[in-house]
Amino acid sequence: MAQSLDDITVVAPHFKRRLSGVTSTVIQLIPEQRRQGLGIVTLGPGLPGHLPKMRWSDLPALWKKPANGKPRIWHARRNNEMLAGLILRDVLRMPLKLLFTSAAQRHHSRYTRWLISKMDAVVATNAKSGSFLKVPHTVIRHGVDLQLFHPSEEIDKGLPEDLKGRHLVGCFGRVRHQKGTDLFVRAMIELLPQNPEWTAVISGRVTTEHASFADKLKADIAAAGLSDRIRFLGEVDDIKPWYRRLTLYVAPSRNEGFGLTPLEAMASGTAVIASDAGAYAEMIVEGETGSVVPAGDYERLRDAISAFLEPQKAMQSGRKGREHVEATFGLEREADQLAEVYAGLLGASLPRTTAASRPATSANV
């Protein structure tokens, strides 16, 4: 829904159509920021219709300051969004403050470093990402919506009949080498024959360029005679019930920016085995809510999964995972910390809108 910009303090551009980790963050975070009374809108494609939006044709309205008389904040999360902000602020002279959130865990290109150097403030999503920044920054870890992601007693509701009553171990996300889907499949082929009460499920989009990768995995599974116990779900409409149904979640990424899926799983009461890519190691309490292994290390991953294929151990860790996320990774905490950064950029307390009285909005993520 498009709206007047008079009470809008923050513009969150989103210049990508396909679902990504950044998209999931925006979908969860902005409704929470609105619930807290922040005037914020998105700009761009690829986001669900319930989020507050401004139109491209509304851009000229950014020359006019909002009702509070302060500049607006342009909160970018990608290079092209930083560049657009620079053009609006420095070429078109719009009254904007530029903020960039960095999730990358690698040395930035010269171009990206130049863009970052022009920002008014920078946020890193975790300490490791911050270590690659050459500018002052604030570390604010992503949170998870504890109302959307939660445990449930009705774990078998809507599940295919042949999966009901079984312990499920899952791996969710785009099916590709970077995400380590092959490591998960290899571990399942090795471990499931000795653990007959478990079934593996894989959910995520297979893009054209990774179709042969996915086909090879399916062929390996068929060759092992496990096609009925290692199931590809495709890209499901709503992943939340699947998190709740799992007994164990595996995030075997070789490379990651931040990575929300372990938080979503733990919030759903599910134990997690993850690589140390992204911020995974900062999320998991070793041996209590799950385990962290070196990225790309198949043997360590397999052995960690094997240790949690004891159902009672996994379920106990899942309960502790929910408690840990409630205490440390609630979405309100992320929104509160960002509000402090926004206030610092504006040099004053954040103006609040009537959005705080609006009911919470659920999103499919």
Distance CA 224, CA 63 (A): 63
Q: What pLDDT score does 19 carry?
A: 66
Q: What is the 3-state secondary structure (H, E, C) of 105-125?
A: CCCCCHHHHHHHHCCCEEEEC
> Tens of pLDDT along 222-278?
999 999 999 999 999 899 999 999 999 999 999 887 788 999 999 999 999 999 987
Domain ranges within the chain, ordered by starting residue: 10-143+330-357, 161-328
Distance (Å, whole) CA 126 – CA 257:
9
State the Cα–Cα distance between residues 227 and 17, nearest whole angstrom. 33
CB of 161 within 8 A of CB of 132? Answer: no
293 close to 301: Cβ distance less than 8 angstroms: yes
Residues in a beta bridge with 274: 251, 292
161-328 has the same fold as 10-143+330-357: yes
Cα–Cα distances in angstroms (integers) from residue 175 to residues 46, 201, 293, in the given order: 20, 12, 20
Contact 146, 265 (CB under 8 A): no
Mind listing the pLDDT tens digit for each residue in 125-146? 888 889 899 999 999 988 888 9
What pTM was computed for the model?
A: 0.78
Which pLDDT score, from 0 to 100, does residue 363 have? Answer: 28
* Secondary structure (DSSP) of 132-161: T-SS--EE----B-TTTS---S-TTTT--G
CB-CB contact of 96 with 85 (8 Å): yes
CATH of domain 10-143+330-357: 3.40.50.2000
Does the 161-328 domain belong in CATH 3.40.1390.20? no
Q: What is the pLDDT of residue 343?
A: 94
Q: Hey, which bits of 175-256 come out as E strands? A: 198-203, 230-234, 248-251
The token pair that represents 341 in the structure block? 């950064």
pLDDT tens digits, 273-299: 999 987 888 899 999 999 999 999 999
